[in-house]
Amino acid sequence: MPQVVRPRIAVLHGTHPASPLPQRFRSLADREAVEVLHRAARVLVASLPVLTDRLVEALYEQEPGYRAAIEADRAEIWQEVHHSLRHNVGSLIQPREFREAAHRTSRRIGEIRAEQGVPLDAVLHAFRMGGAMVWQDLVDETARRDPDDVRLLVHVAADVWNFVDEHCGIVGDAYRQAERRLSWRRENQQRLMIAALLDGTARIADLCEAAAMLGLPEQGRYAVLAVASAPRAPQRPGPARPPLNLPAALPVAAPYGQSGPDLPDVRPDAVPYGRSGEGGPPHVRPDTAPYGQSGPDGLPHHRPDTAPPPTAFPGTAPLWHTGPDAEFAILRLTGDPGDPGELHAIAAALDAPAGTRAGIGSVVEGLAALGDARRLAETALRACPASGGTVLLDEHLPDALVVTSPALGSALADRVLGPLDRLDPSDRDVILETLTAWLDADGSAQRAGARLYCHRNTVLNRLRRFEQLTGRCLTRPRDAVEVSLALAARRLLAP
């Protein structure tokens, strides 16, 4: 028996399959043993319907992976088993005539079972059960005809079981290839569906299917995150799609694609929104690991029965889509409607390298509104300074007004701030910096002076000079609004 067991284990673990049956016969079995095997196999061929009934019933009782398929269409399973037994038992009698047909049958069974989602272990177990039943019937038939001939079957036992293991290897290879094709097709369909949702081109009739495919509620609350590198940042190799590790009570992240060094990594221990760690720029984790690669050759080799189904809501992983200028993530929100805390938490958890820009759009209701959510995220991204940072659209609506109409924004900046361009650049920049600090300090000259490290009177003198040069009055609300928008346009629309 050791000679039988070792080749079976080798075949199941992916080594070269056993030699073809005719060669093994010539090397291991004498003519008399082969005649005994052929005689018993011919009897099995004549009683294949009965053998098929027994094997189908044994599969139903002993293999749970096949039970649902048999209950759904017993006749189809019966035909498949009968076809396989006919070619495989026939191969014991006429190897050259039946070998290729038996291989094609086994490959087809592996492909069909992969498409049906039957576990690979169950398919291989079914083949071994069939091999064991055929072998037992060969022994019983030989013993019935002439008990003394049973000893001759020992010479061909290894060949019969190597034949079974060879077909197990064929089935496994076909199953895994079909699984990779199905996985690639499924991922491609998901990518196309995500792209359609974000582009706003998905049909209303397809929303239910999209919800089931992506594991998202059709009427849930969503926001879109847009992430891009700084315009002048050097291009790095590899996908630029960051994994997310969102705070508790927010969607749990599932990294999709390999992280890039130019985009943010979101960590629970990230520094608060708008601040850097240890007095310097934010940091990115070096231990980010890829989640897999696209394409049929790089897909994960998981079994359909062990692969997780689309994540059920709530707590759905962000779904990423690559745009021409940015990466977009669909965020499933689970907090109370009207509570901005979730978006604040996401923004606070973003830990991005210097120069990375991120924009989070407003909350929308339902998958049908994801196209609007993407456009809002793009607007937030355009409102992000070129130096980098994270912008929540709902908190930067004046800036959003400027970037959505750049021509009018530039015209306003030229009209309000144009007189300053006649000054020396350093003098002009000091006035603009003081004006910005004063507005950020809610009109407090003292707090603005603290930020600029100068006396409050210095701040007031610079503001009076601005009013003299531009003819604006900063205490007049209309002028203050125009100045604020003009400064935003100068900052965001600068070439």
How would residue 158 be classed by pLDDT, with cut points 50, 70 and 90? Answer: confident
Q: What is the mean pLDDT of the chain?
A: 76
Beta partners for residue 72, in sequence order: none
pLDDT for res 360: 92
How would residue 352 be classed by pLDDT, with cut points 50, 70 and 90? Answer: low
Cα–Cα distance list, 123 to 112, 129, 133, 374 (Å): 10, 10, 15, 45
Instruction: Give CA–CA dist 125/168, Å, rounded.
Output: 9
Burial of 46 (C-beta count, 10 Å sphere; 0-12/13-18/19+): exposed
How would residue 157 be classed by pLDDT, with cut points 50, 70 and 90? Answer: confident
Beta partners for residue 244, in sequence order: none
pLDDT for res 95: 84
Residue 250: pLDDT over 80: no
Residue 252: pLDDT over 60: no
Tokens of 495: 């070439």
Residue 67 in contact with residue 115, Cβ under 8 Å? no
Q: Of 51-55, 363-367, 388-392, 456-460, where does mean pLDDT reach its minimum?
A: 388-392
* Most trustworthy range by pLDDT among 144-153, 225-234, 306-315: 144-153
What is the per-residue DSSP string for 304-368? TTTSPPSPPSSSPPPEEEE-SS-EEEEEEE-S-TT-THHHHHHHHHEE--TT-EEEE---EESGG
pLDDT exceeding 90 applies to what percent of the chain? 18
Instruction: Give CA–CA dist 478/457, Å, rounded.
Output: 24
pLDDT for res 231: 54
pLDDT for res 292: 33
pLDDT exceeding 70 applies to what percent of the chain? 76
Residue 1: pLDDT over 70: no
Residue 75: pLDDT over 70: yes
Dihedrals φ, ψ of 69, to 5°?
-65, -40
Dihedrals φ, ψ of 405, to 5°?
-135, 70
CA atoms within 13 A of residue 102's CA, in its CB half-sphere:
24
Strands 265-266 and 350-351: antiparallel
Residue 85: pLDDT over 70: yes
pLDDT for res 223: 92
- Terminal alpha carbon distance of the chain: 80
pLDDT for res 238: 41
Better pLDDT: 231 or 175: 175
Reported as a single tens digit per residue, the pLDDT across 451-465 is: 999 999 998 999 999
How would residue 191 be classed by pLDDT, with cut points 50, 70 and 90? Answer: confident
| DSSP-based three-state secondary structure for 227 | strand
How would residue 57 be classed by pLDDT, with cut points 50, 70 and 90? Answer: very high
Containing 391, the helix (H) or strand (E) segment is strand 389-392
Reported as a single tens digit per residue, the pLDDT across 137-150 is: 999 988 888 888 88
Count Cβ neighbours within 10 Å for each residue of 158-190 and write b for 16 or more, e otherwise.
bbbbbbbbbbbbbbbebbeebbbebbbeebeeb
List the one residue out of 58, 183, 48 whose CA is nearest residue 66. Answer: 58
Residue 309: pLDDT over 70: no
Residue 249: pLDDT over 60: no
Residue 367: pLDDT over 70: yes
Instruction: Give CA–CA dist 202/59, Å, rounded.
Output: 44
Residue 375: pLDDT over 90: yes
Nearest 10 degrees: Cα torsion 68, 74, 78, 84: -30
Reported as a single tens digit per residue, the pLDDT across 202-225 is: 888 888 888 888 888 888 899 999
DSSP state of 148: G
How would residue 447 be classed by pLDDT, with cut points 50, 70 and 90? Answer: very high
Q: Of 97-111, 349-363, 420-434, where does mean pLDDT reach its minimum?
A: 349-363
List the one residue out of 388, 403, 391, 392 whose CA is nearest residue 233. Answer: 388
| DSSP-based three-state secondary structure for 44 | helix
pLDDT for res 53: 92
